[in-house]
């Protein structure tokens, strides 16, 4: 599991872990049933207190993204995260916002952006047309 923290960005470390695991699940890079690193292992990798990782895992468990199995570890929820679709849409929305801001900056109208999106979609998925 590829998680990076930044102690200087103002976001609590446990929330950075939570947000990154949510992203990894939503993007499919962590799949249902996949085991997360043990608390102490991840704490050592990130050089943080194990209590910080434990708190992040508890938050993820409450959100239904992971499940703890007694003496067996912490796993991505087999039922799928109730947040997965919402998180994916959030990621796409943020990218759309950035695209629209850039388009405005470059003087490209919204209808032109929409047409470009359609063209790119057709180019990337020709069998769906």
Q: Against a cut of 0.85, is the pTM above it?
A: no
Contacts of 69 (CB under 8 A, 6+ apart): 75
Does the structure show a pLDDT above 90 at 90?
A: no
User: In 83-104, which positions are buried (b, 16+ CB within 10 angstroms) versus exposed (e)?
Assistant: bbeebeeeeeeeeeeeeeeeee
Give the tens place of pLDDT for each residue, 47-89.
999 999 999 999 999 988 999 988 889 999 987 655 667 777 8
**Model confidence at 128: pLDDT above 80:** no
Task: Kindly state the greatest CA–CA separation across the chain.
Answer: 58
Q: Which residue has the higher pLDDT, 78 or 124?
A: 124
């Amino acid at each position: 599991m590829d998680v990076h923290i930044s102690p200087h960005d103002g976001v609590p470390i446990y929330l950075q872990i939570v947000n990154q695991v949510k992203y990894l699940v939503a993007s499919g890079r962590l799949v249902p049933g996949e085991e997360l690193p043990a608390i102490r292992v991840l704490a050592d990798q990130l050089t943080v207190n194990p209590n910080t990782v434990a708190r992040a895992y508890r938050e993820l468990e409450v959100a239904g993204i992971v499940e703890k199995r007694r003496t067996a570890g912490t796993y991505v929820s087999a039922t799928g995260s109730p947040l997965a679709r919402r998180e994916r849409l959030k990621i796409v929305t943020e990218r759309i916002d950035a695209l629209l801001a850039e388009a405005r900056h470059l003087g490209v109208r919204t209808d032109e952006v929409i047409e470009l999106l359609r063209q790119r979609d057709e180019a990337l998925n020709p069998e769906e047309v």
